[in-house]
Amino acid sequence: MARVKLRVYFPGDHSLGPGKVALLEAVREHGSISAAARALGMAYRHAWVLIDDLNRCFATPVVSTATGGSAGGGTTLTPLGEELVRRYHRMQQRAERALAGEIAALEAKRRPARRTRAQDRA
């Protein structure tokens, strides 16, 4: 089934899409950029670059990082980071609803999917 993937492009070569939102959600869940990157199967450096891009795009940071200490540090989403996740999901849902008819019309014209050899053997 076809689906819509929303990506918002901002001036200055910045964007917000499903990958960055998944990273923000993983940071929220795991409490660190490093653990979030591991959970998503991405390099820490790549995750850091994505977070840095979001921080440079917006007027305030999307994450707040505390280093070391007795609490061990960690990273949390700022109110803006939480808002980005919320708004992105809302926009994604609205786009899916708005385009459902168009996507269904395209799906009706698709060629049937071919089975792979692995599927034939199963």
Domains in the chain, CATH or no CATH each: 8-110 (1.10.10.10)
> Over the range 88-100, which residues count as b (16 or more CB within 10 Å of their CB) and which as e?
beeebeeeeeeee
- The answer to whether 20 and 28 are in contact (CB under 8 A) is no
Q: What is the pLDDT of residues 14-69, one digit of tens each?
A: 999 999 999 999 999 999 999 999 999 999 999 999 999 999 999 999 999 887 65
The percentage of residues in the chain with a pLDDT greater than 70, rounded to a whole number, is 93
Residue 90 confidence class, pLDDT cut points 50, 70, 90: very high
Residue 16 pairs with which residues in a beta bridge? 8
- Whole-model pTM: value is 0.85
